[in-house]
Structure 1
């Protein structure tokens, strides 16, 4: 498997480890078009900016995005 660099502002899919709750693995790095589709489908907050370093704008509460791995 090739290494893929993750930068600030990238949209990624992670998987929490069953045996280590405090660790996760990066499953996929979405390209710009895929990230736009995720936003259009309502999978990303409206405040998400695609292809920009500052990815979210809003209050501090909006920056905490929780994922339920069972829903994926």
Structure 2
């Protein structure tokens, strides 16, 4: 997760973005399966069964339609972990600034 801040005043990002070097990607929660498991539609077009790690379980409540950052597993690509959940305001900010891939940009108000 990185915060992008550049001096030219043009590309200032106030929200956390996925770290592509670590393999993190955007995703939209499609379905809650119970027992801290979710079905997430990822930006690469695949649907993954993701889990909420223990350190996030009580701190962050996740609902259907939320924008999240997913870290796919190295050994099973169809599964992954939820790294971060965006608030509605953060998701709208990313959508307005065209920082989301088209496949998961469900927040567009255009």
- TM-score, with length taken from structure 2: 0.38
By how many angstroms is 1:2 displaced?
3.9
Structure having the higher strand fraction is: 2
From 19, 23, 27, the counterpart of 2:75: 19
**Where does structure 1 differ by over 6 angstroms across 4 or more consecutive aligned residues?**
none
Superposed CA offset, 1:9-67 (max 9, x none): 1111111111221111111000122111110221234x6237xxxxxxxxxxxxxxxxx
What's 2:90 paired with?
34
Question: What's 1:49 paired with?
Answer: 107
Looking at secondary structure, tell me which structure has more helix per residue. 1
TM-score by length of 1: 0.54
Ranked by relative contact order (alpha carbons within 8 Å, sequence separation 6 or more), the top structure is 1
Query: In structure 2, how many angstroms separate the alpha carbons of the residues matched to 1:22 and 1:9?
Result: 19
CA change 1:21–1:2 in 2 (3 A) is closer
10 and 41 in structure 1: CA distance in 2 versus 1, 3 angstrom threshold: same
Q: Which runs of 5+ in 1 are unaligned?
A: 51-72
